């Protein structure tokens, strides 16, 4: 049942992206062009999305348990760190350059447009690369103290 609920939610989300025009890169770029021919219609789409999400979260917070899962999976972090800011900056740059972000790209993938296929392949490569980087970074951080401790070089504490 959770898979069916996820599928239906994805269909509704994709339909909303199509109806709102967020799958049209030119419309998105028009929205981002604040000092040119600014198209404010997506601001209303985003405001509506925030209102619906806020109402949904308010209802979910009052429930004892979710309908299609054993427990709620609320975020356990709320700090703002360098990876979050860096990711937001990269996301914004990518969105501003091509006028499309991951959700609309997946919806547009159904049209098999070569630029969209290239975008999605690059997006997936970036996700895989980031995942490998994170795994190797944590492996390096975990190994670093042992490497320093076993180093034949004197430490600062040795004078």
> Each residue's pLDDT tens digit in the chain (159 positions)?
778 888 998 899 889 888 888 888 888 888 888 888 888 888 898 899 999 999 999 999 999 888 888 888 888 888 999 888 988 998 888 888 888 888 889 999 988 889 899 999 998 998 898 888 888 776 666 666 555 555 454 444 544
Q: How far is CA 27 from CA 89, 108, 158, in A?
A: 21, 14, 63
Whole-model pTM: value is 0.67
- Looking at residue 142, what is its pLDDT? 65
- DSSP H/E element including 21: none
Phi and psi angles of residue 157, each rounded to the nearest 5 degrees, phi first:
-65, -25
Q: Chain centroid to CA 20: how far?
A: 19
Instruction: Report d(CA 21, CA 19) in Å as an integer.
Output: 6
Structural domain boundaries of the chain?
1-78
């Amino acid at each position: 049942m959770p898979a069916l609920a996820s599928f239906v939610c994805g269909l509704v989300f994709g339909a909303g992206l199509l109806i709102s025009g967020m799958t049209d890169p030119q419309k998105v770029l028009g929205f981002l062009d604040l000092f040119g021919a600014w198209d404010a219609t997506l601001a209303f789409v985003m405001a509506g999305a925030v209102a619906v999400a806020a109402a949904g979260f308010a209802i979910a917070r009052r429930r004892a348990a979710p309908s299609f899962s054993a427990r709620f999976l609320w975020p356990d972090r709320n700090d703002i760190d360098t990876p979050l800011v860096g990711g937001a900056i990269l996301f914004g740059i990518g969105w501003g350059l091509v006028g499309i972000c991951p959700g609309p790209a997946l919806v547009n993938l159904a049209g098999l447009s070569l630029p969209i296929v290239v975008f999605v392949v690059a997006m997936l490569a970036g996700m895989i690369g980031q995942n490998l980087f994170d795994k190797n970074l944590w492996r390096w951080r975990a190994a670093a103290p042992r490497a320093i401790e076993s180093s034949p070089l004197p430490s600062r504490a040795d004078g």
